[in-house]
Amino acid sequence: MEFSRVVARRRMVRRYRPDPVDPAAVDRILDVARAGPSAGFSQGQSFVVVTDAGDRAAIARLCGEAQWVARGFEPWLSRAPVHVVPCVREADYHARYARPDKARSPGPAGWHVPWWWIDGGAAMMLLLLATVDEGLGAGLLDVGDPGPLRRLLALPADVAPLGLVTIGHPAAGDPGPARRRPRRPRGEVVHLGRWGAGAPA
Ligand SMILES: Cc1cc2nc3c(=O)[nH]c(=O)nc-3n(C[C@H](O)[C@H](O)[C@H](O)COP(=O)(O)O)c2cc1C
């Protein structure tokens, strides 16, 4: 699919048809997601893929899906046939910058932002866009306290889950409240040369 079309079509999908997703499509999506950038090519991003219905139901439980369903929402999580939990491992960055070819770099101690989170976000975005490119839909949500998810997925102590991405065939219906508000205009978010010099809308 044309890149601009992929970007334009992407939105968080919270309703799915129950049809399974072709495992080959999931593999292709993950190959795109792991092709992103990382500081020093540390490659601290990883992905836990969950398709087992019992495990997906367990994730839905620990994310409080039942309370949302009781309030009239769709069972977003348990119905999505594929869950992906993107993770980052800070230790990979420290190990990378301890290598001889990085001896002249201040590394993580000198960074103004912890790049492992940013790189995780880049991987997340690729995951969402690759899903659209496969003709599927994806939704991202914050899982709150990561402890229960960490235990369920047997994550090592130094691996941090970023959130939960659901993947599946989008069901027809309400796209949700997100798109009832327009995006902020270009002139408000793009600054030309100096902050406050807005680009034409
Ligand atoms: C870090 C993050 C956490 C999010 N958590 C939730 C969530 O818990 N529940 C939800 O319905 N949407 C969640 N979203 C989706 C946003 O509401 C959505 O991206 C935003 O409203 C813009 O809509 P769009 O992505 O469809 O363009 C989350 C998005 C991000 C980036």
Q: How large is the average pLDDT for residues 144-168?
A: 97
User: Which atom number of ligand 1 is nearest to the Cα of residue 178?
Assistant: 21
| Domain map (residue ranges) of the chain | 3-175
> From atom 4 of ligand 1, which residue's Cα is the shortest distance away?
141
Write phi, then psi, for 5 (nearest 5 degrees): -70, -40
The whole-number pLDDT of residue 197 equals 86
The whole-number pLDDT of residue 122 equals 98
pLDDT band of residue 173 (cuts 50, 70, 90) is: confident
pLDDT band of residue 200 (cuts 50, 70, 90) is: confident
Q: How large is the average pLDDT for residues 165-188?
A: 81
Which residues pair with residue 141 across a beta bridge?
164
Give, in words, the CATH class of 3-175: alpha beta
Q: How large is the average pLDDT for residues 119-123?
A: 98
- Give the model confidence (pLDDT) of 128-152 as tens digits: 999 999 999 999 999 999 999 999 9
Greater confidence (132 vs 180) lies with: 132
125 CB near ligand 1 (under 6 Å): no
Centre of ligand 1 to C-alpha 14, Å, is 10
Q: How large is the average pLDDT for residues 52-76?
A: 96
Q: Which two tokens stand for residue 155?
A: 């994550």
pLDDT at 92 over 60: yes
| Gyration radius of the chain over CA positions | 19
- Give the model confidence (pLDDT) of 25-35 as tens digits: 999 999 999 99
Angle of helix 115-133 versus helix 90-97 axis, rounded to 10:
120
Residue from 141, 143, 145 whose mutation best tests the ligand 1 pocket (most atoms within 8 A of CB): 141
pLDDT at 179 over 90: no
pLDDT band of residue 177 (cuts 50, 70, 90) is: very low
Among 161, 134, 109, residue whose Cα is nearest residue 6? 134
177 CB near ligand 1 (under 6 Å): no
The whole-number pLDDT of residue 172 equals 87
The whole-number pLDDT of residue 75 equals 95
Residue that is written with structure tokens 């048809």 in the block: 17
Neighbours of 134 (CB within 10 A): 20
